[in-house]
Amino acid sequence: MTHKELISEMAQRFGFTQSKVSDLLDATVSVLSEKLSENIPVLIQNFGVFETKKRAEHISVNLQTQQRHLVPPSIEVNFKPVSDIKEQPETFLNPADLLANQANIPNAESEAFLKSLSDLITETLSGDEEIKIKDFGTFRLIPIQERERGNVNLLGFVPATALKELVNKPFSHFETILLNEGVTFEGVEEVVEGKTQPTAPITPITEPVQRTKIPPVWIPILGGVAIALASLFFFMQWQVGKQPVKDSLNHNRPSSQTSPATMISSVESVRMKELPESLEKVVLQEGKTLRLIAEDKLGNREFWVYIYLKNKNKIKNPNIVSVGTELIIPDPSEYNIDASDPQSIAKAKALGDDELKKFL
């Protein structure tokens, strides 16, 4: 069932116009996506719970090509049906109240809408079909074979690209990196492609089926540090020294690089944290630069790159920022900013040098 077909069916069941059902469905997706991006479990009564889970960085091994890639951390969105919930999450949200506020409808109406939606999904899946919700995900039956129960259908949820990108925003500046032969990292797991299991929690639905192979779901990780990371493996070592820094971003920069071990540690240190509701904003005054603002607000000038990335939509060139530009100061937890941590500073410098190369 497509998104449009879902709207049409919901309109018939609920007695609303398709336009109103579409608005309510969009509001539902918005509420669920927003809370999942904050890593807050969302429970829909008598249906199931949506929650996020962090997957640590790992090395992906392709047996056919023998290539090995360093894959950064990622956030996975899981759905657990009510029949599989043994212990209710300690902290979770009931989206009915949030939907009522966002759509400006009574609570009873929002609860009825969510119940009708979950009932329709369950009935559709019982018919061995799938149902798609735009920008949220697809519910489908996953046929597998179990030794004790024979062939059964399992209820699975595959998040949409838009949802995966939203929850993975904290890692959006990291990319998957091809490793040179012989490069290994202690404590980083190696995963052979084709041997991973589906990441979405699933629940049995009794029905004879044939076994099919479900490909692993890879979460696309976009970012701007590919060149800096790839260059790490062409150097034997690096040395971080405290050097004078000019206020201007246009200056001769040493070619020191961050070591692989340091960068891996930096990637591992990124954690899911809820950002404050409102971030600090400053207006660029005459004589000020991104570096000076970073030193004042974040504790070190090398963190200018995070101010630039946070305000990239309004800064065409980090070397030239107009006086009067309003800048959002990122929360330190968003990029793991720690002025007392040499690795955090080194990572920021490597990322900043990479960004500046684009404007040479």
Kindly state the average pLDDT of the residues 178-198. Answer: 73
Q: Mind listing the pLDDT tens digit for each residue in 294-306?
A: 999 999 999 999 9
Amino acid at residue number 284: L
Q: Which two tokens stand for residue 95?
A: 């989206």
Predicted confidence at residue 306, as pLDDT, reads 93
Residue 215: pLDDT over 70: no
Q: Which residue has the higher pLDDT, 237 or 135?
A: 135
Q: Which residue has the higher pLDDT, 238 or 178?
A: 178
Residue 165: pLDDT over 80: yes
Residue 242's pLDDT band, with cuts at 50, 70 and 90, is: very low
Predicted confidence at residue 263, as pLDDT, reads 46
Residue 145's pLDDT band, with cuts at 50, 70 and 90, is: low
Cβ–Cβ under 8 Å, residues 256 and 197: no
C-alpha 318: how far from chain center: 26
Amino acid at residue number 205: I
Report the side by side order of strands in the sheet with 190-192: 177-178, 68-71, 58-61, 190-192
Residue 67: pLDDT over 80: yes
Report the side by side order of strands in the sheet with 42-44: 42-44, 48-55, 74-81
Kindly state the average pLDDT of the residues 52-65. Answer: 86
Predicted confidence at residue 160, as pLDDT, reads 93
Amino acid at residue number 31: V
Residue 347: pLDDT over 70: yes
Tell me whether strands 203-205 and 326-328 are parallel, antiparallel or unpaired. unpaired
Amino acid at residue number 292: L
Q: Does domain 3-205 have CATH number 3.40.50.300?
A: no
What is the residue-wise DSSP string for 247-262?
A: SSS-S--------HHH
According to CATH, where is 4.10.520.10 located in the chain? Answer: 3-205
Residues composing the chain: 360
Predicted confidence at residue 147, as pLDDT, reads 39
pTM: 0.52
Kindly state the average pLDDT of the residues 245-274. Answer: 43
Predicted confidence at residue 176, as pLDDT, reads 82
Residue 69, judged by CB atoms within 10 A of its CB (0-12, 13-18, 19+), counts as middle
Cβ–Cβ under 8 Å, residues 131 and 125: yes
Q: Give CA–CA dist 14/180, Å, rounded.
A: 58
Residue 265's pLDDT band, with cuts at 50, 70 and 90, is: very low
Tell me whether strands 190-192 and 177-178 are parallel, antiparallel or unpaired. unpaired
Predicted confidence at residue 264, as pLDDT, reads 43
Kindly state the average pLDDT of the residues 270-279. Answer: 52
Predicted confidence at residue 87, as pLDDT, reads 66
Q: Give CA–CA dist 134/44, Å, rounded.
A: 18
114-120: long-range contacts, CB 8 A cutoff, minimum separation 24: 114/28, 114/44, 114/45, 114/47, 115/45, 115/46, 116/10, 116/13, 116/14, 117/10, 117/25, 117/28, 118/44, 118/46, 118/47, 118/48, 120/6, 120/9, 120/10, 120/13
Q: Mind listing the pLDDT tens digit for each residue in 83-136?
A: 777 666 555 677 888 888 888 889 888 888 988 888 888 887 765 678 899 999
Predicted confidence at residue 287, as pLDDT, reads 85
